[in-house]
Amino acid sequence: MAPSKTVAQTSYEIWHGKPASYKYLRVWGSPAYVKRLVGDKLDWRSSLCRFVGYLKETARYYFYHPSEQKIFVSTNTMFLEKGFPAESRRDEVLLEESSEAPQQNNATSFEPSIPTDGVLVLRRSTRESRPPKRYGFVGLTSQLDNDPRTYGESMSYIDSDKWLEALKFKMDLMGSNQVWTLVDHPKCVKPVGCKWVYKRKLGADGEATTFKARLVAKGYTQRSRVNFEETYPPVAMAKSIRILHAIAAWYNYEIWQMNVKMAFLNSFVEEEIFMDHPEGFTSVGEEQKVCRLQRSIYGLKQASRSWNTYFDEVIRDYDFIKNEHNPCVYKKISESLVAYLVLYVDDILLIGNDVKMLGDIKAWLSTQFSMKDMGMGLSCPIKWSPKTDEELKRMSDIPYASAVGSTQYVVQCTRPDVAYALSVTSRYQACAGEAHWSAVKTILKYLKRTKDMFLIYGGGELILEGYSDASFQSDDDNAKSQLGFVFKLNGGVVA
């Protein structure tokens, strides 16, 4: 700047004979893409940071990285200076308005950071810390979902007699299956805790028709290599189920579905596990005893794996052959007769070309487990992150992640047509705005309007067809290209 109105030139211009250059001056707090030094060509080439200052006597800048919460120095940057920082939208980046800083080869990577010499110290917030507004809705939530959470609550409800009946039924069932035996409390052993879980089953009119209770172990109190080893259980892949449906539609096979009641109680535990008494069912004189588990119960870390291992042993005794690529798909062949069995946790899918053969398999399964037939089961009753604190508060009370997660299951099983829309909305679960929530509701409305649409197999050739397409730098957030594909078999999508 000129020292006074009477002097038309700055001191720099008078001394050097030329005007000073302003090309290195930037808007403080403006966003900028900073180049990263990466070794993998698939990694991001840059990160979105904030300009916070200049390095003394150099042409380099200080930047703040929000996610890594640190300040570093770099020169290879692309500034985004369209609007004032306080009014800028966090997720809208107009690259055509950006200005590039002079490129140099001595850019500093994020690691290690250059110390700031105490000049740029992040100020500690002085705002009063208040609990989120959503905490105030806990009481309302308990009124809407009024299933008891503890044994004491269940006994204080007006329908406590029905809850007690459900508890007794479950205890009798576990007693008949010899799930545990009562033993003296071993020294230096901390038993695994347990709790009751309650759930009302509502009818079409919204009235409670069934009161269900389940005893679950507090698996988070288990210790690795003490009372559990391996925990991973295989499950049938969705594409395998779709392929079998396509084959069944082509050959007009029978498709039956069943469920194994209390599946986990059928398998045995290999480790020595001691568990506390179920609340409300401690007999007089047995207060100091504990339950030594003989069979798995829900909640144990290894319960699902134990059940899968036990089912595999049982089903192989009936001459079923396991698929080597998908361990939850089995096949049984007898001359010209064929049957497929798919296990998904405790649900069983039977597919075959002979009704009598499927009936024999079903009858045999009923002798091994407590089975339940399943019927149709149908019931018919991106650039928008929050911009204000008020919107953030409103979004904190909205179950955005829950809605996205529920829709994800539908996409994987029967509605691949909304896969891309769900993929886009699921990216903003950590910073969802009202426009994001509007997009999710649009997906849900579409699914409701098209509830009669589903995957249909038949009318095509038993030839696997694949289609793919790609876009070039279509992602507005990181300018990456996107690829999509779909595979069809016998007229229906399988992957």
DSSP 219-253: GGG--BTTTB---------HHHHHHHHHHHHHHT-
Report how far residue 256's alpha carbon sits from residue 237's, in angstroms, rounded to the nearest whole number. 18
Q: Are 369 and 414 part of one and the same domain?
A: no
d(Cα 429, Cα 445) in Å, to the nearest integer?
Answer: 19
Asked if residue 122 is part of any domain, the answer here is no
Whether 191 and 65 share a structural domain: no
d(CA 490, CA 247): 7
CB-based burial, 155-184: b 16+ in 10 Å, e otherwise: eeeeeeebbbebbeebbeebeeeebbeeee
pLDDT of residue 313: 92
The answer as to whether 125 is a domain residue is: no
The predicted pLDDT at position 368 comes to 92
Residue 170 resides in a domain: yes
Q: Which residue's structure tokens are 């096949």? A: 331
Distances (CA, A) of 301 to 55, 217, 233, 296, 347: 54, 9, 10, 10, 20
The reply to whether 359 falls in a domain is: yes
Residue 93 is classified by DSSP as: -
Phi, psi of 31 (to 5 degrees): -75, 155
Please state the φ and ψ torsions of residue 116, each to the nearest 5 degrees: -100, 5
Check residue 483 and give its pLDDT. Answer: 79
Asked if 64 and 36 sit in the same domain, the reply is yes
Q: Is 238 exposed, middle or buried (0-12, 13-18, 19+ CB in 10 A)?
A: middle
Residues 248 and 201 in one domain: yes
280/360 same-domain check: yes
Q: Are residues 225 and 264 in the same domain?
A: yes
Q: Residue 206: its pLDDT value, please?
A: 60
Q: Does residue 127 sit within a domain?
A: no
Q: What distance in Å separates the CA atoms of residue 287 and residue 475, rounded to the nearest whole number?
A: 62
Does residue 188 belong to any structural domain of this protein?
A: yes
Q: Kindly report the three-state secondary structure assignment for every residue of 320-333.
A: CEECCCCCCEEEEE
Q: Are 44 and 478 in contact (CB under 8 A)?
A: yes
Residue-by-residue pLDDT tens, the chain, 495 positions = 666 666 677 787 888 888 877 777 888 888 988 887 766 677 777 888 988 888 877 778 888 888 878 888 887 888 887 765 554 444 444 334 444 454 444 444 444 444 444 444 555 556 666 666 555 444 444 444 578 888 888 888 888 889 999 999 999 988 888 999 999 988 888 899 999 999 988 765 567 788 999 999 998 888 888 888 888 888 888 889 999 999 999 999 999 999 998 888 888 988 899 999 898 888 888 888 999 999 999 999 999 899 999 999 999 999 899 998 888 999 999 889 999 999 998 999 999 999 999 999 999 999 999 888 886 554 433 455 666 677 777 777 788 888 888 888 888 788 888 888 887 887 777 777 777 888 888 888 888 888 888 788 887 778 888 888 887 766 656 657 777 888 888 888 887
Which of 74, 100, 126 marks a domain boundary? 100
Q: Last residue of a domain, which of 72, 100, 128?
A: 100
- Asked if 274 contacts 186 with a C-beta cutoff of 8 angstroms, the reply is yes
Residue 129's pLDDT is 64
- Backbone phi, then psi, for 404, in 5-degree steps? -65, -45
Residue 385 pLDDT: 60
Nearest Cα to Cα of residue 471 among 479, 463, 483, 461? 483
In a domain, 488, yes or no: yes
Residues 6+ apart with CB under 8 A from 292: 180, 181, 182, 183, 272, 273, 274, 275
- Is 332 exposed, middle or buried, given 0-12, 13-18 or 19+ CB atoms closer than 10 A? middle
Tokens found for residue 338: 């064929």
Residues 367 and 420 reside in one and the same domain? no
| Domain end point (choices 85, 100, 115) | 100
Task: Based on the fold, state whether residues 190 and 270 are members of the same structural domain.
Answer: yes
Q: What is the pTM of this model?
A: 0.52
271 and 349 co-located in one domain: yes
Kindly state whether residues 356 and 435 are assigned to the same domain: no
Per-residue model confidence (pLDDT) at position 195:
92
Are 280 and 151 within 8 A, CB to CB?
yes
Q: Are residues 17 and 153 in the same domain?
A: no
Domain of residue 465 covers 389-493
If asked whether residues 357 and 458 sit together in one domain, one would say no
Q: Does residue 368 belong to any structural domain of this protein?
A: yes
- Total count of domains within the chain: 3
Residue pair 469/484 in contact by the 8 Å Cβ criterion: yes
